[in-house]
Amino acid sequence: MSRPGQDHVTSSGTGKATGAGAGRQQTTGPHGATSPDNPKPGGRWLLLALAGLIILGLLIWALTQCGTSSQDQAAPPAAPTSNAPAPGAAADGGTGVPSAAAGTPGTLVAGTTSLFGVVADPGAALTSVVGQTATGTAVPVQSVPADEGFWVGTGETDRVWVQLLPADVVPGAESPVTVRPGQLIDLTGRVTAHGADFPAAEGIDTAEGADQLVRQGAHLEADQNQIKVVGNS
């Protein structure tokens, strides 16, 4: 029989304690006793490893963001490009054929093709627009080497020959219109092909542009009534 105030112990000396010692429990195993107040070391290392992985991931993310920001700041913005045509010219639509807007001062246009733009290329010819009607607006007269013909253009490298059709009043007579170098004229005419003998037939020699006229392969035929002097260059 137990006396008052004495803890009760089972007959085997193990098991559950009551009384003043009941607040702490101890179990005995084959290798000794363990206490719940002291967790296993493996759990603590697992937590430390997980925290390390999180920190490492944050560092990698921060370095990646810094690198991207540095590249964005180092690359200068690309300069805007402009495909706008020159004044008086229109876009060629990707065909490579020089274009111009009809009615613009200083232009000679067949359809949408700038004749001045075509002949500016030394290897180009006007044969691609033969048969078309060309319109010139305030084009400068470059030189007048023949009685019935003259060059229009801004210079010797981008000029087109204009051949005046004879007046119908007197067959074979020269055209009464007077054209002089430096004038600005409006004109309308048909692009007409010619052969290699055309310059000689019109009395045009090498110094006056015979070779250039042969190379271009075509000229503009205009009636005198379709030519109007509008000013001087």
pLDDT tens digits along 85-125 = 443 444 444 445 565 666 789 999 998 899 999 998 887 88
Q: What share of the chain is helix, strand, coil (3-state, %, to 5)?
A: 25, 25, 50
pLDDT in tens, 133-185: 999 999 999 999 998 999 999 889 899 999 998 765 445 555 567 899 999 99
Tokens 């801004």 belong to 154
63 pLDDT band, cuts 50/70/90, is: confident
The domains located in the chain, with CATH, are 107-232 (2.40.50)
Residue from 128, 151, 124 nearest 209 by CA? 151
- Report whether pLDDT(126) > 60: yes
Residue from 214, 51, 202, 233 nearest 119 by CA? 214
- Report whether pLDDT(27) > 50: no
- Report whether pLDDT(42) > 70: no
- Looking at residue 20, the DSSP 8-state letter turns out to be G
Q: In the predicted model, what is the mean pLDDT of the chain?
A: 75
Question: Mean pLDDT throughout 60-73?
Answer: 70
23 pLDDT band, cuts 50/70/90, is: very low
Residue from 193, 203, 97 nearest 144 by CA? 203
Radius of gyration over alpha carbons of the chain, in Å?
50
Q: What is the pLDDT of residue 95?
A: 40
- Report whether pLDDT(25) > 50: no
Please give the angle made by the CA atoms of 22, 26 and 29, to the nearest 5 degrees.
150
Phi-psi domain of 88 (left: phi exceeds 0; alpha: psi -120 through 50; beta: other): left
Question: Mean pLDDT throughout 30-36?
Answer: 46
